[in-house]
Chains A and B, each alone.
Chain A
Amino acid sequence: MSPNLRIWVAVKHGVDVGLTRADPATGVVALEGAPRKTSDFDRNAVEEAVRVRERSGGTVTAVSVGPPSAREALREALALGADEAVLFTDPAVPRFDTRAVARALAATCRTLGGFDLLLLGEGSTDHFGGVVGARVASELGVADLAYVRKLTVEPEGVVAERDLEREVEVLSARFPVVVTVGQEINTPRVPTFMSNLKASKKTIRQVGPAEVNLPASSLAPVQTTLRVAVPQVARKQVPLTGNSPDELARELLSRLRDEGVWP
C-alpha cells in the first residue's frame, strides 16, 4: 500500500436547498443571496477521503471551485479531517458552470502534485446535474467509478461497490481514479470544537487559472439560467382533529373513503 496516497476531495459550497424559499404565488426560488453550505454528498466524499487516509495513509487535499465564499466549505472539510485545502477562484468568471468546475478541478489536481484518488459527491444538492465527476475524469483521461457506496483501497487501485437503478456492480480500477459517492456510503462525522479550532488555523491555498495552466477563456459559462421555480402542487391542507385518537382515526378513514383512495 502506498504510504503516500494522494487523496483529493472536491467540495461545493452550494445553495442550502432546505433553507430556500419559494414565492408563494409564482413558486420562483430566489437563489441570489440564498444561504449556502457544503453540498450534502460532498460531506460524504470528505468523510470517505478521511477514512481512506485513516486506513491506508496518505494526505487528503480538499479542493473547491467557486467564489471566495467557497472557503467556508473548505474550512468545514478541514474540520472534518482534510489535511490541506485549495480554493480555485477567478474574479473574471461570473459563475462556474459544470464545464468550468470540471476543467478547474482537473487542472488543479493535475498541476498541484497530482492525485491517486479523487472523490466527489455524485451530484450537487443545488444544481443537481450529476456530471462533474465523469467530466473531470474525462478531462484527466482516467477511469471514474460512479454511485459508489462501498470503497476498498488496494495496493494498485480501488474496488468499489456501486448502486445503479436495478443492479449492484462491483468494479475495480487502477490509480489514478475518480470516485463519486452518495449518502449511502457513510455517515459523516460531526466537527468538534477542537477540530474546528484546528481547521481555523490552517491556511487555504488560493489559485486561479494562471497557477494551474488553464486558459482563462476556457471557463466562460455556456448556459444561462432563466428561472428556478418549485412546481406548485396544490395540497388541501386540511387539519384533522378529534377529541380522542379513536375519533381522529375514524375521521381520517372517512376522509380517505370520500377521496376514493381507500378501501
Chain B
Amino acid sequence: MNTGPVLCYSEEPELAEELLRWTHHQKLSEGAPVAAAVLGALPADLPQRYAAAGAQEVYRLAAEAPAFPEAGVLAEALAIVVREAKPRLVLLASTKRGKQVVGRLAGLLDWPVATGVNELRRDGEAWVLEREALSGNAVSVEQFPGGAAIFALTTGQGPPAAASYPLQIREVTGAFPPSRVERREQRPKGGGGVHLETAERIVTVGRGLKKREDIPMVEALARALNASVGCTRPLAAEAGWFSDDHWIGLTGHRVKPKLYVALGVSGAVQHLVGMRGSRIVVAVNQDPNAPILGQADYRITADLYSLVPALLRALGVPG
C-alpha cells in the first residue's frame, strides 16, 4: 500500500486542526506522516497551530491565490499538492464548501469519494466507513478499496488533543488556475441572535399553527420555558413566517437541546433529522398518526390551541 501521508485540508484552520487531531485519534496514518495542505499564503501562526494538532508536515502551494478562490480553484490547487505529496488519503471537512471541493477534486483525480463520514477505519486491505444517508436519518456502512481516497468528515465532534510533533514545511511549486466564478457580494447570515444549535430548550411549531397572528402565543410559551423558538420548513420556506435561522431540519439547523417541544409538527423525515439529538422530546399533535409522536418521550394527542393556553396558565403567564 501507499506509504504517503494522510493529507488534511480545510480553508478554515479550525476545521483543518480537527481533521489532524481526528487522524491521530483514529490512527489513520499507520506510521506514515500526518500532513496538512495550505493553499497560498501561510499565516505566521499556522505552522504552530497545525503542529499542536498533530501535523508532521505542511505541504504548501507557494503561489498567490486569486481574490476569490472558488471551489473549482481550490480543488485544482489542492490537486497540484496531492500530485506532489502522493497521500494515501485526503481528508476534508464535510461542510458545504468542503463537499463542493471534494466533488471537484474527485473529478480531477478520479479517486473514490465519500462525504458526511462519521467513522473511518481500515479493515484488512479496505477502508470501511460510516456516513450519513437517507437524508441524515440513517447510517450507511460502506466499504472502499484500500487505495487512495477522498473522504469528507463530519466536523464538530471535537476529538481529543493530539501530541505535538516537529513540523516540516514542504513548498510545492505551481499556480492557481484562473477563477471561473466572480463573487459580487458576501454577507454574514442575518440571524436576530438566534443560535438554535446551542439552545438548551426549544419550542418548535409546525403546520398545526393556523395563522401568523398566533406566533405570539408560541413565543409566550417559549419565554415562559426559557426556550428558543424553532419552526419547520413550511413555516420558514413557504409561509415566510419565520426567518431561516429558526428552521430546524435537513437544510435548516440541527439541534440538540435537553428539551424539545414540538407543537403541531407532523414529523417529516427532513425535520426529524434536525431534532434527533434532543434529550427529551415532547410532541403535541392532534393527529394520532403523526410520525413525530413515534419519536417522542412524551406524546400528547391534543390540539395545540387548547394545550398551549393551558400551559401558559399553568406557568402563570397572564392571558
**Interface residues, chain A, with chain B CB atoms under 8 Å away:** 15, 17-18, 20, 22, 27, 29, 40, 98-99, 102, 125-139, 142-147, 159, 163-174, 182-184, 187, 222-231, 233, 235-241, 244-246, 248-250, 252-253, 255-256, 259, 261-263
A130 with B187: CB separation less than 8 A: no
Closest A residue, CB atoms, query B129: A223
Contact B142 A223 (CB under 8 A): yes
Report A47 CB to chain B, min CB distance, Å.
13
Q: Does B104 lie within 8 Å of A144, measured CB to CB?
A: yes
B314 touches A173 (CB 8 A): no
B91 contacts across to A, CB distance below 8 A? none
Q: Are B144 and A222 in contact (CB under 8 A)?
A: yes
Given A127-B133, A143-B180, A145-B181, A225 contacting B140 (CB threshold 8 A): yes
Contacts A132-B103, A173-B181, A224-B142 aside, 16 further interface pairs with beta carbons under 8 A come to A20-B134, A98-B106, A102-B106, A129-B116, A130-B115, A137-B103, A138-B104, A165-B95, A169-B186, A170-B184, A236-B297, A248-B300, A248-B310, A252-B282, A253-B315, A261-B201
B307 and A248 contacting across the interface, CB-CB below 8 Å = yes
Residue from A29, A102, A262 whose CB has the most chain B CB atoms within 10 Å: A262
Expressed in whole angstroms, the minimum distance between the Cβ of B183 and any Cβ of chain A is 6
| B72 CB, min distance to chain A CBs, angstroms | 6
Contact indicator B113/A98 (Cβ below 8 Å): yes
Is B2 an interface residue, CB under 8 A from the partner? Answer: no
A-B residue pairs, 6 tightest by C-beta:
A134-B103, A138-B107, A131-B103, A245-B310, A143-B180, A170-B185
Partner of A183, one of B102, B107, B226, B251: B251
**Which residues of B does A touch, CB under 8 Å?**
70-72, 75, 95-97, 99-108, 110, 112-116, 128, 131-145, 180-189, 201, 225-226, 233, 237-238, 244, 251, 258-259, 268-270, 276, 279-282, 294-302, 306-307, 309-311, 313-315
Supposing A182-B251, A246-B314, A262-B201 touch, asked if A143 and B102 sit within 8 A by C-beta, the answer is no
Chain A residues with Cβ below 8 Å from B181 are: 143, 145, 171-173
Q: How far is the CA of A230 from the CA of B144 in the complex (A)?
A: 21
Which residue of chain A has its CB nearest to the CB of B150?
A131
Contact A29 B138 (CB under 8 A): yes
Residues of A within 8 A of B110 (CB): 99
Describe B's contact surface by its main secondary structure: mixed
Report which of B132, B279, B294, B310 forms a contact with A249, defined as CB distance below 8 A: B310
Q: DSSP class of A's interface residues: helix, strand, loop or mixed?
A: mixed
Central interface residue in A99, A164, A227, A245, by most chain B CB within 10 Å: A245
Partner of A168 from the list B134, B186, B295, B300 (CB cut-off 8 Å) is B186
Distance between Cα atoms of A170 and B184 in the complex (Å): 5
**Is there an interface contact between A125 and B107, defined as CB atoms closer than 8 Å?**
no
Docked Cα-Cα span, A67 to B293, in Å, equals 36
User: How many whole Å from A87's CB to the nearest CB in chain B?
Assistant: 23
Once A130-B99, A228-B134, A228-B139 are accepted as A-B contacts, the answer to whether A223 and B112 lie under 8 Å apart by CB is: yes
Given contacts A130-B115, A147-B96, A256-B259, contact A166 B188 (CB under 8 A): yes
Query: Bound complex: CA of A123 vs CA of B140, how far in Å?
Result: 16
* Complex: chain B residue closest to A185, CB-CB: B237
Which among B131, B184, B225, B268 is the interface contact of A18 at CB below 8 angstroms? Answer: B268
Q: Which residue of B lies closest to A177 (CB)?
A: B180
Report the nearest B residue to A222, measured CB to CB: B112
CA distance A17 to B259 in the complex (A): 26
Assess the B183–A170 pair: CB atoms within 8 A.
yes
Residues of B near A248 (CB, < 8 A) are 300, 302, 307, 310
Measured in the bound complex, the distance between the Cα atoms of B101 and A130 in whole Å is 11
Q: Establish whether residues B314 and A249, one from each chain, have CB atoms under 8 Å apart when the complex forms.
A: yes
* A238-B135 in contact (CB<8A): no
CA distance A132 to B114 in the complex (A): 11
CB-CB under 8 A from A238, the residues of chain B are 297-299
A159 to B183, CA, bound (A): 9
Q: A233, B300: Cβ atoms under 8 Å?
A: no
Neighbouring A residues of B268 by C-beta, 8 Å: 18
Closest to B307 in A: A245
**Given contacts A169-B186, A228-B133, A249 and B108 within 8 Å (CB-CB):** no
Indicate if the CB atoms of A135 and B103 lie closer than 8 Å: yes
| CA of A173 to CA of B201, assembled, Å | 42
- Please tell me if the beta carbons of A171 and B182 are within 8 angstroms of each other in the complex: yes
State in angstroms the CA–CA spacing of A1 and B71 once bound together: 27
Of B102, B189, B300, the residue contacting A131 (CB under 8 A) is B102
CA distance A168 to B188 in the complex (A): 6
Cα of A163 to Cα of B142 in the assembled complex, Å: 29
Q: Which partner residue on chain A sits nearest B73 by CB separation?
A: A143
A172 near B184: Cβ-Cβ < 8 Å? yes
